[in-house]
Amino acid sequence: MVDLDPWGSASVDDYSKLFDEFGITEFDASEVPEPMDLMRRGIIFGERDYSLVLDAMENDRPYAALSGFMPSGPLHVGHMMVFRELIWHQRHGADTYFVIADLEAHSARDMSWKECERYARDYVASLLALGFDADEGTVYRQSQNPRLRQLAFELSEQTNHNEMNAIYGFDGETNLGHLNSTLTQAADILYPQLDEPKPTVIPVGADQDPHLRLTRGLARRMRMFGVTEALASFELDEEEREKVAEALELFGGEATAREVAGHIREGHGHHEGLLEKLDSAGDEELEPRVRVLSRDAPEDAFEDVVDELESRFEVERYGEHADVYDADYREVDEVARDVEVGHGGYGFYPPSSIYHRFQTGLTGGKMSSSVEDSHVALTDAPEDGYSKVKSAATGGRETAEEQRELGGKADECPVYELYAYSLARDDEHAKKVYDECVGGERLCGGCKEEAAELMEDFLEDHHEEREKHVDEAEDLMTLNRI
Ligand code: TRP
Ligand code: SF4
């Protein structure tokens, strides 16, 4: 069992486990037009429903990107990934949000409001320095956003202690402020959709996935309609559906329940539950369809969806649901969403997410704001950045001779990570460092010197850019104060 704890310090040792355990999908950079470096280099390794975002991006439809941090310590180069991901999406058309999670910092990290504000100003200066356009995008503090807090309240009506305990490992001792901050984060994640539903990507580290699981469930429960793919008038679980779909294919896409049951009986395996359902359906024609279920929808809203669908497709109507034939899932989903919004509902899309690997600390272990030598902070003096890199741990061998013979272990080297995550000028540069290292042509002393100089240059530039944006950062803080 991989434990994902948003407030813990454990590192994820095997990212592939997250795929099976939590249903995160492997990120496929080849699907992305002009993918960013973190995508190309496999640092962004996983996603949920990112195709919704890609579709919007490619068809010039509205979509959003949102992420945030607790203002609870100095920002380091590992955090910079999130900034860069936000900025990349902003440049690719996203309505982009940066959240200062001061409610969470106050409850989970015991930060005073004053400290929160000081760090927040600092974060925003770096965000702007890296290229975030605050005229186009939005920066807000959780504590100063009344619409957000109202949404958090509404979301809280859709969950209970059992679910929170199962997702976060909370128990009877859990402080309610902390519990509240998770609902605030769910509200953050859905906030870009308040005025108009739109696909939204949340770029985060894998430790934040529990928040996405919670929010995806809440978003679904807030919908008036559920839209699912089905094969029969009766409900099938996923495994049963696969079995029936397989059989249907052999029959050319259409067959009666009886015919499918006969086919399944000839095969092996235990399918008693499924066979029972098929037997009692007898002559019903099975075929793929899209099902629209009314959840909490007002009666007239359900009527409107059915009317609208009937004007375009073949529809069979049952009490609380309607089955739509020869229709594309997305099209039906859009019809249901439009009607829902027309009737005053939110029509939320499930939030999408992309996950990046954690950067290893310079001293090994996790890069952490609370361990000074494990990171280079964006506010560190350039010469301190230089010396921290110079004294970093490496994946090098005991002696130069051994290194020439066996090559270094770039895959386990925090210095190589610095190149791959941020310092390399381009892919070619990153690849050159890697190849020379594992090929034994590169020794750690020179390699660290090069990285240290790049870090020093980066910090010098970054501080210069920050200077240009302090006033704007200050204004954004004031704007956000009530
Ligand atoms: N929980 C995040 C952290 O630990 C901060 C956060 C708050 C956030 N709201 C968010 C991240 C919404 C992504 C999306 O720093
Ligand atoms: Fe790391 Fe560079 Fe040494 Fe290779 S040569 S192990 S990349 S410091």
Query: In the predicted model, is pLDDT for residue 2 greater than 80?
Result: no
Query: Does 117 have pLDDT greater than 60?
Result: yes
Measure 136 CA to ligand 1 centroid, in angstroms: 21
Query: Of 378, 390, 386, 375, which Cα lies nearest the Cα of 464?
Result: 378
What does residue 402 show for φ and ψ, rounded to 5 degrees? -60, -40
**Whether the predicted pLDDT of 479 surpasses 80:** no
Q: What are phi and psi of 158, to 5 degrees?
A: -100, 5
Ligand 1 centroid, distance to 202 Cα (angstroms): 9
Cβ neighbourhood burial of 5 (10 Å; 0-12, 13-18, 19+)? exposed
- Sort strands 321-325 and 289-294 into parallel, antiparallel or unpaired: antiparallel
Q: Is 326 left (phi over 0), alpha (psi -120 to 50) or beta?
A: left
pLDDT in tens, 127-173: 999 999 999 999 999 999 999 999 999 999 999 999 999 999 999 99
State residue 434's pLDDT score: 96
Tokens 């503090």 sit at which residue?
Answer: 141
Pocket mutation for ligand 1, best pick of 181, 185, 353, 370 (most atoms within 8 Å of C-beta) = 185
Half-sphere exposure of 36 (CA within 13 A, CB side): 21
Helices (H), 201-357: 209-221, 238-250, 257-266, 272-281, 299-310, 329-342
Please tell me whether residue 360 adopts helix, strand or coil conformation: strand
215 lines ligand 1 (CB under 6 A): no
Q: Specify whether the CB–CB gap between 402 and 340 falls below 8 A.
A: no
Residue with CA nearest ligand 1 atom 2: 69
Domains in the chain, CATH or no CATH each: 16-222+349-356 (3.40.50.620), 226-342 (no CATH), 372-479 (1.10.240.10)
Quickly state the pLDDT bin for 409 (edges 50, 70, 90): very high
Strand order in the sheet with 352-356: 25-26, 44-48, 352-356, 200-205, 64-69, 95-100, 138-141
Q: Which of 370, 375, 406, 404 is nearest to 388 (CA)?
A: 375
> Using CA atoms, how far apart are residues 242 and 248, in angstroms rounded to an integer?
10
Asked whether residue 359 carries a pLDDT value surpassing 60, the answer given is: yes
**Ligand 2 environment, Cβ below 6 A:** 394-396, 408, 410, 413, 415-416, 433, 437, 442, 444, 447-448
What is the position in ligand 1's atom list of the atom closest to the CA of 108?
A: 4
DSSP class of 319: S
Per-residue burial over 275-297, b if 16 or more Cβ lie within 10 Å, else e, is bebbeebeeeebbbbbbbbbeeb
Tell me the mean pLDDT in the region 29-55. Answer: 96
pLDDT at position 3, please?
64
pLDDT at 482 over 50: no
The answer, yes or no, to whether residue 105 has pLDDT greater than 50, is: yes
- The pLDDT value recorded for residue 204 is 97
Mean of the per-residue pLDDT values for the chain?
93
What pLDDT does 271 receive? 87
* pLDDT tens track for 167-194: 999 999 999 999 999 999 999 999 999 9
Cα separation of 396 and 301, whole Å? 65
Q: Are 224 and 343 in contact (CB under 8 A)?
A: yes
Question: What is the structure's pLDDT at 11?
Answer: 63
The CA distance from 90 to 135, in Å, is 11
pTM for the structure as a whole: 0.92
CA nearest to 455, candidates 16, 447, 129:
447
